[in-house]
């Protein structure tokens, strides 16, 4: 029963996430008005806004103008619901579950916005740093000190890399958005999680970058934004961080 609740909670928060994804980059209000079809502008009825189910029932098309609905919607709905379920299985019905779900939801929004607009909105990452730090006071998974060091080490190390890169190549390699994002990740995952996130993000990012470069013959710098890889690294660190660190220490005994 609880598993169902976690899936439903995950799925329900999706329409809010979608609204953030579309309106934050345009600096529109995220509270009003309700969702509408981007093609014919007709408001989406509440019974057509059931995550995943509506997409399937409507055959992936708008009820009114029959224009196809972007696959992005069911994709994000599925990923969010699944994240909610996995986090619930990990943390149970607890405050930790709610806080880490909010964290993952923020990462999903950041990823999609960064993919489309190559920016990471400060309105998510900066409050995120504060929320993560405050959360460390009430959840057992992380101490306040660990969260604080996570912010400084996470943000600081990327800031250092970005500064050295800029000084060396005379051009901006990494945005300030990535620095703030990693500070937020450090706030939620602590300093070990932040380091693991940089490692995983760089690894997955480099592999993907090389593949994209070969396939599309694009300059590495312009190939893809770094934010989504940091977000992905953070999610892996959150789910499997303890195991990965234990495995690493085991290998290096």
Q: What is the DSSP letter of 21?
A: H
CB of 42 to Zn ion, least distance (A): 5
CB of 48 to Zn ion, least distance (A): 10
CB of 22 to Zn ion, least distance (A): 15
Angle at 98 between CA 133 and CA 247, to 5 degrees: 75
CB 49 within 8 A of CB 19: no
CB of 57 to Zn ion, least distance (A): 15
| Distance in Å from the first CA to the final CA of the chain | 43
Q: Is 40 in the site for Zn ion (CB under 5 A)?
A: yes
SS3 annotation, 94-124: CHHHHHHHHHHHHHHHHHHHHHHHCCCCHHH
Q: Is 234 in the site for Zn ion (CB under 5 A)?
A: no
Closer Cβ to Zn ion, 40 or 89, answer by number: 40
Kindly give the residue spans of alpha helices, DSSP state H, lying in 118-219: 122-135, 144-169, 176-216
Q: Is 61 in the site for Zn ion (CB under 5 A)?
A: no
Closer Cβ to Zn ion, 68 or 206, answer by number: 68
Applying CB under 5 A, the span of 54-62, 74-82, 119-127, 228-236 interacting with Zn ion comes to 54-62
Binding residue (CB under 5 A) for Zn ion from 12, 16, 35, 37: 37
Q: Is 62 in the site for Zn ion (CB under 5 A)?
A: yes
Binding residue (CB under 5 A) for Zn ion from 23, 36, 39, 61: 39
Applying CB under 5 A, the span of 65-73, 120-128, 202-210, 243-251 interacting with Zn ion comes to 65-73
Q: How far is CA 104 from the centre of its chain?
A: 6
Query: Under rule CB under 5 A, how many of the chain's residues touch Zn ion?
Result: 6
Q: Please report, for residues 63, 166, 184, 222, the alpha-carbon distance to residue 226 in angstroms, rounded to integers and kept in the order given.
A: 37, 16, 15, 10
> Which residues are near Zn ion by CB under 5 A?
37, 39-40, 62, 64-65
């Amino acid at each position: 029963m609880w598993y169902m609740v976690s899936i439903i909670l995950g799925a329900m928060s999706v329409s809010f996430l979608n609204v953030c994804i579309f309106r934050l980059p345009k600096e529109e209000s995220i509270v009003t008005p309700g969702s509408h079809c981007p093609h014919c502008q007709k408001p989406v009825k509440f019974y057509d806004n059931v995550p995943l189910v509506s997409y399937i029932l409507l055959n992936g098309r708008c009820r009114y103008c029959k224009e196809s609905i972007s696959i992005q919607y069911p994709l994000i709905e599925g990923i969010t619901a699944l994240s909610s379920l996995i986090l619930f299985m990990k943390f149970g019905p607890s405050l930790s579950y709610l806080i880490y779900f909010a964290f993952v939801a923020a990462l999903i929004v950041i990823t999609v916005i960064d993919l489309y607009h190559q920016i990471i909105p400060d309105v998510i990452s900066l409050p995120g740093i504060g929320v993560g730090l405050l959360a460390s006071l009430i959840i057992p998974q992380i101490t306040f000190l660990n969260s604080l060091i996570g912010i400084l080490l996470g943000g600081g190390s990327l800031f250092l890399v970005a500064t050295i890169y800029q000084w060396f190549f005379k051009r901006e390699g990494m945005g300030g958005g990535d620095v703030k994002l990693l500070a937020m990740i450090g706030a939620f995952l602590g300093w070990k999680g932040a380091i693991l996130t940089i490692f995983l993000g760089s690894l997955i990012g480099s592999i993907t970058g090389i593949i994209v470069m070969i396939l599309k013959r694009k300059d590495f710098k312009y190939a893809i934004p770094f934010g989504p890889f940091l977000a992905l690294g953070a999610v892996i660190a959150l789910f499997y961080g303890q195991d990965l660190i234990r495995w690493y220490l085991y290998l290096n005994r």
